[in-house]
Structure 1
Amino acid sequence: MTRSKYVTSARGLLGACLLVLAFALAGCAGEFEDDDDDDPYQTTTTATADATTTSTSQAVTTAASSSLASATDSSDDSDGAATTASVIQDSNEDAAPGKEGIGYFGPESGGTANPNDRPLPLMYFESHGVNPFVDADEDPLSTFALDGDTASYEILGLYLGEARLPPPESVRIEEYVNSLPQDYPAASTALGLHLDAGPSPFGPEGYVLLRVGVSNPRPDTDRDPVSLIFIIDTSGSMASDNRLGLAKTIAEGIADRMIDGDRAALVTYGDFAVRNIDFVNYDRRSNLVTALRGLYANGSTYAEAGLRMAYGMAEDELDEGRTVRLVLFSDGVANVGATGPESILEFVDEQAHRQATLTAIGVGISGNYNDVLMEALANRGNGTYHYLYDHAAGEEYLSEDVNGVFTETARDARIQIEFNADAVRKYRLIGYENRAVADEDFEDDTLDFGEPGFARDVTALYELRLEEGASASDTLATVRLRWLSPASGGAIETSAGISVGDVAGSVGDTSAHFRQAAAVAEFAELLRKSFWAQCGEISAVADLLDGIDDELGGDSDYTRLVGRVARASEYFEPYCKE
């Protein structure tokens, strides 16, 4: 039977405390059992104080959440974002921004002051649990939205630079995997679908790892002109750790990649929103650069006003038939406290249908950063989410991911896999816990799904236990990939299948990039303390990577991964659940 895979969450400090008390009184954890007594994987799972509940077979185990620490009601959406219910009060929220010159939007004392008689918030993350194994004969369909974000992997770099491991709830496995290049052939004009499989390097004997790859076209200098709107948080918190300085540098780097026909504008927000630069053409982008260099951080934060002003400017450009890209730079922290971000997210949700995409770029190092809000803004704004903690990370973004600001090949992309229960006993999706989609919604093109980004391949990994006696000719799985064309809005779908006979005979028979994907996924599972990686050792990840050094040793992404694995091993201690 098909079961809904929406993940619903009850969040908030009060709810978490009550649940902790309830579990303490009960003296036991929630448990469900597998019918395979001889399975090397034990499938007892534990519910903890995050209070993430589920009505689906796709996300069961939860870990303590450090998301928006507010005792308010939660709000659920298809992207799994956690938000508070408090609303920014703005008597001018429906007013149109000025058409010309420098202006402001909103009251002079709106939003949340920083500081506002409260301690600065710390690093806000959210746990979405860990996907369990699913019996293929009970639920053969697995459906999820694609995700081209990479922020979680960059947050790892921040923590390792401070000689510590990242919080488990900050680790989103798919973002670790998708931060590394794959070996898929480049798609020609749209998305391409690629499947391969081999023995699971870290699973019990007889388990199979299935790699589902989605390839993007490679960057092309012959692109259509766009209208860029930079939205930069200039509140007081952006003075910390040179956050604003980093944002200005990266924005200038993006401006340097403009081509003839592009336009760019600049909006900032602190106590209020300011239209610093109205749209300037490519040949006058030096005016934009001058304005960027003159920005300074001060005051409280009124993010909603900044976003409203920017989307108002986008509307005029869209009416002229232009393509609009909004790029937000912020640490996200100032919307936690007296005024919550829900009204901001609702507003961005409402604007998504106008086809202006929002790229969220988080900046900051240590102390206070709101990962939850920044990811939610990108999800709601039909864009991608990246995190930059120093200029080296910024340069890497400009070299590898900046094309996604100017170009997109797909919107609302999602995957549905049908496993053949005659060949597959059970399966689990590794990561994508907050991207679950109801199986019956796969063909509903009115819903919001995910954005794969541009020029970066997207990968999903499944661990499978095959049925004994499955023959080589048996179909293992059939994969459907569906998305909307940004140009026409029409739906496009492609599909591919893989059989038992296509599974590689040994780990060594798989490609180097397959093994690299397996290694970084296991690395992420260890860091997030996944139920399925307990008692695991980072040294095993290092060994697998060492085996592909001859093939990938010259690749900078591989080298960086090897370095991060080595650094993490200095602080990592294996954990075993009793």
Structure 2
Amino acid sequence: MKKHIYLLLVLLIAGLQANAQGRMITGIITDAQSGNTLPGVSIMLKGTTSGTSTNKHGKYNISVPDEKSILIFRYIGYATKEVKVGNKQQLDVAMEVDNKTLDEVIVTGYGIRGLAGKVAGVRISGNSSQSFMAHEVQLAPPVHNTENYNYIKESTFQDAKKTPLSTFSIDVDNASYSNVRRFLNQGQKPPVDAVRIEEMINYFSYDYKQPTGDAPFSVTTELSDCPWNKDNQLLHIGLQGKNISTEKLPASNLVFLIDVSGSMSMTDKLPLVKAGFKLLVDQLRPQDKVAIVVYAGAAGLVLPSTSGEDKPTIMQAIENLQAGGSTAGGAGINLAYKVAQENFVKGGNNRVILASDGDFNVGVSSDSELQRIIEKKRESGVFLTVLGFGTGNLKDSRMEQLANKGNGNYAYVDNILEAKKVFVNEFGGTLFTIAKDVKLQLEFNPAKVKAYRLIGYENRALADEEFNDDKKDAGDMGAGHTVTALYEIVPVGAKSATTTGDVDPLKYQKSQLDPKANSTNEMLTLKLRYKEPDGNKSKLITTTATDNAVAVGKTSDDFRFSAAIAACGMLLRDSKYKGNATYPMVLELAQNARGNDEEGYRIEFINLVKSMSLLSDRR
């Protein structure tokens, strides 16, 4: 009898303990519009300090005491949500982006114009457009803005007889697209010089063939009619970097260089930096190591080089960061490179990752001085990744140049999904260089090409003689990266109205075509130079492209989608070369070229285009 009573007491106590401990709730958090999972979402049990966050797959689990418990879901850029758990064991939540609506706003210049009466506009829906009348808009007070962008002088058409060579450095940066997206999501038209068309195109990945043999990348070309000028043609060039599985990537020696000055205190700056770096830490392997350097009024080492196996220590060091003080960026850069060199991994990936709004104002702070520091430091074999954060004082021009000079890449992180793209989806491409100083030089055949224009890449143009100069710095390519370039071409004999301007005939020399130029179907010869990541002598790849054009409807999804991005960029810049481009045309091209869009980046662009039509007087 006593044994039975004892057993009942044990069961009763166990039941009371189980009830006190509550039950486990699991779930997946997604973006309500795209359905993409959201990593780093904060989940708190209301009225307590208990909480958790979603992992890189958007999954979470949390213990709750009873059915009356309420969970609070918070995420940067999304509306906070409170959900009562009830009797559910699985609680999935779709979060809504917290952005200003664009439907009743027309934007001109850099701000919003209130509509005193009713102003005609266009609403895009699917492939059709219909008129609508906009309502009155209350203007928000002007915000002091010190963002800085380099002036872009748009490239022009070149006469293929007089200027047969086109030479430029590749560009794997994609900061411009996410920055443009940020402006559009805020209901503003981006500054013209914030729109770098090549970076918008290269934000997206493309389905090019994988390289074969020893070459680190493949080259693909495609030719068709130009969508915005039917009398011209569009040449699509694609490079595909070799994919390398994470387990086969070399060991990493990383230094996080984090701006913790007062200007970084806003929620879209340091809190987002911390969330993004936590995603990166989650990807690290035992052979990888991380150090953390911070700078405000001065620079300091807050975490010595630590194995990727010790994630809790690294995570805690990131969590403890707080913003305050002025910005000694130069001192921070010097210390970060010093730490990277002290822990250098021969044959590995040695890299400083700078996260900042670029607002350096203490010590070395001029662009020229900072660039010279970076140029000198890159000789050590340490690469540089630059991540821009925040609004209102973003120094885009400075950060882009630092990345260019530091054998690295530049991305702008406007939300946690972008952090996931940079640190998780494109882990290899962001951090592991497979080729450096990559340059292209195209020689056009004047018997086939009357004139040509490279779309974008204005700040990547090289002198023709710099193609063979191995001392000339150029762009670097990461594992799995794609690079895309577009040329608008005026074929010989076309009834195109495109001109290159008049130049007086030469007095002392005459240029003559090689007779073979007329007998070949070659439109151009493409030459590409690159170096191994630790090499100093370049290697050469040569290929040709023919004048065999196909109808636009028979081109690849990649051709049409990149053309849509280019046309969109020209519309945002109000380019004199936009031809007959319109937002409905952009929308139709993009919608019919979505292709394999697992992460939803292309559908996001399509949805942006539907709003962009409200941001321009050109329909």
Q: When the two structures are superposed, what TM-score results if normalisation uses the length of structure 1?
A: 0.75
Is the Cα–Cα contact under 8 Å of residues 251 and 345 in structure 2 kept in the other structure?
no
- More displaced stretch, 263-272 vs 486-495: 486-495
Q: What amino acid does structure 1 have at the position aligned with 2:436?
A: R
State the match for 2:505 in structure 1. none
Paired positions, count: 454
Is the Cα–Cα contact under 8 Å of residues 349 and 432 in structure 2 kept in the other structure?
no
Is the Cα–Cα contact under 8 Å of residues 152 and 175 in structure 1 kept in the other structure?
yes
Cα distance between partner residues in 1 of 2:228 and 2:479: 31
Q: Secondary structure at the match of 2:266?
A: helix
Q: Does 1:236 align with 2:262?
A: yes
Q: 1:319 to 1:281 in 2, by over 3 A?
A: closer
Q: Secondary structure at the match of 2:245?
A: coil
Aligned with 1:486 (options 512, 533, 541): 533
Cα distance between partner residues in 1 of 2:596 and 2:222: 19
Q: Secondary structure at the match of 1:138?
A: coil
Q: Once the 2 structures are TM-superposed, how far is the Cα of residue 531 of structure 1 from its aligned partner?
A: 1.3
Q: 1:309 to 1:514 in 2, by over 3 A?
A: same
Q: Once the 2 structures are TM-superposed, how far is the Cα of residue 394 of structure 1 from its aligned partner?
A: 1.5
Is the Cα–Cα contact under 8 Å of residues 143 and 414 in structure 1 kept in the other structure?
yes
Q: Once the 2 structures are TM-superposed, how far is the Cα of residue 389 of structure 1 from its aligned partner?
A: 1.0
Q: What does the per-residue CA deviation read over 1:199-221, in whole Å, with 9 as the maximum and x for residues that have no partner?
A: 11112x33110011111112412
Q: What does the per-residue CA deviation read over 1:447-468, in whole Å, with 9 as the maximum and x for residues that have no partner?
A: 1111233322001100001112
State the match for 2:192 in structure 1. 168
State the match for 2:236 in structure 1. 211
Q: What does the per-residue CA deviation read over 1:386-412, in whole Å, with 9 as the maximum and x for residues that have no partner?
A: 001111221222333232343111101
Aligned with 2:461 (options 436, 452, 475): 436
Determine which structure has greater relative contact order: mean sequence separation of CA pairs < 8 Å that are 6+ residues apart, divided by chain length: 1
Q: Secondary structure at the match of 1:349?
A: helix
Is the Cα–Cα contact under 8 Å of residues 172 and 199 in structure 2 kept in the other structure?
yes
State the match for 1:153 in structure 2. 177
Q: Does 1:139 align with 2:184?
A: no
Q: 1:173 to 1:242 in 2, by over 3 A?
A: closer
State the match for 1:33 in structure 2. none
Q: Secondary structure at the match of 1:240?
A: coil
- Aligned residue runs from structure 1 range 245-394, under 5 A: 245-318=271-344, 322-335=348-361, 339-364=365-390, 366-394=391-419
- More displaced stretch, 384-393 vs 142-151: 384-393
State the match for 1:509 in structure 2. 554
Q: Does 1:475 align with 2:519?
A: no
- Aligned residue runs from structure 1 range 402-441, under 5 A: 402-441=427-466
**Structural RMSD (CA):** 2.3
Q: 1:527 to 1:335 in 2, by over 3 A?
A: farther
Q: Once the 2 structures are TM-superposed, how far is the Cα of residue 334 of structure 1 from its aligned partner?
A: 3.5
Cα distance between partner residues in 2 of 1:121 and 1:346: 28
Q: What does the per-residue CA deviation read over 1:142-194, in whole Å, with 9 as the maximum and x for residues that have no partner?
A: 00000000000000111111012211110000011111121211224502111
Cα distance between partner residues in 2 of 1:296 and 1:330: 14
Q: Secondary structure at the match of 2:403?
A: helix
Q: Once the 2 structures are TM-superposed, how far is the Cα of residue 320 of structure 1 from its aligned partner?
A: 6.1
Q: Secondary structure at the match of 1:409?
A: strand
Q: What does the per-residue CA deviation read over 1:103-141, in whole Å, with 9 as the maximum and x for residues that have no partner?
A: xxxxxxxxxxxxxxxx97522112221110000000100
Q: What amino acid does structure 2 have at the position aligned with 1:437?
A: L
Is the Cα–Cα contact under 8 Å of residues 512 and 552 in structure 1 kept in the other structure?
no
Q: When the two structures are superposed, what TM-score results if normalisation uses the length of structure 2?
A: 0.70
State the match for 2:603 in structure 1. 559
State the match for 1:107 in structure 2. none
Q: 1:529 to 1:335 in 2, by over 3 A?
A: farther
Cα distance between partner residues in 1 of 2:280 and 2:597: 30
Q: 1:187 to 1:335 in 2, by over 3 A?
A: farther
- Flag structure 1 segments of 5+ consecutive residues without an equivalent: 1-63, 66-118
Identical residues among aligned pairs (%): 30
Aligned with 2:565 (options 511, 520, 540): 520
Q: Secondary structure at the match of 2:570?
A: helix
Indicate the structure (1 or 2) with the bigger Cα radius of gyration.
2
Cα distance between partner residues in 2 of 1:428 and 1:353: 34
- Flag structure 2 segments of 5+ consecutive residues without an equivalent: 1-108, 111-142, 495-516
Cα distance between partner residues in 2 of 1:382 and 1:496: 26
- Aligned residue runs from structure 1 range 88-237, under 5 A: 122-188=146-212, 190-203=216-229, 205-221=230-246, 222-237=248-263
